[in-house]
Amino acid sequence: MIIETMKEKSMYQLQVENMSCGHCVGAVTKAVQAIDAAARVEVDLATKTVNIDSATALAPLKSAIADAGYPVTSAA
């Protein structure tokens, strides 16, 4: 088994404001992947939901998205 695959990943679901188009999806994805390049990010513009699959803690991911200009209103 390769070491990387042993890192435990978490699924986070965030509610994120201000996302309206493909550019926003790209910006949010880029902000998350600047923290964790291996993170999987799925954005649903209709429900303002961002699903993140990452081994990184939630707090720095939330900060990165907020700093990119997209306020996070809830996260779990």
Q: Quick check: 51 and 41 in contact, CB under 8 A?
A: yes
Residue of the chain from 15, 24, 35, 58 that contacts Cu ion (CB under 5 A) = 24
CA-CA distance, 27 to 32, in Å (whole number)? 9
Residue of the chain from 10, 13, 18, 20 that contacts Cu ion (CB under 5 A) = 20
CA-CA distance, 2 to 28, in Å (whole number)? 29
| DSSP bridge partners of 52 | 12, 41
Residue of the chain from 2, 3, 6, 21 that contacts Cu ion (CB under 5 A) = 21
CA-CA distance, 40 to 50, in Å (whole number)? 10
Q: Binding of Cu ion at residue 76 (CB under 5 A)?
A: no
Q: How far is the CB of 4 from Cu ion (least distance, A)?
A: 32
Q: How far is the CB of 5 from Cu ion (least distance, A)?
A: 34
Residues in contact with Cu ion by CB under 5 A are 20-21, 23-24
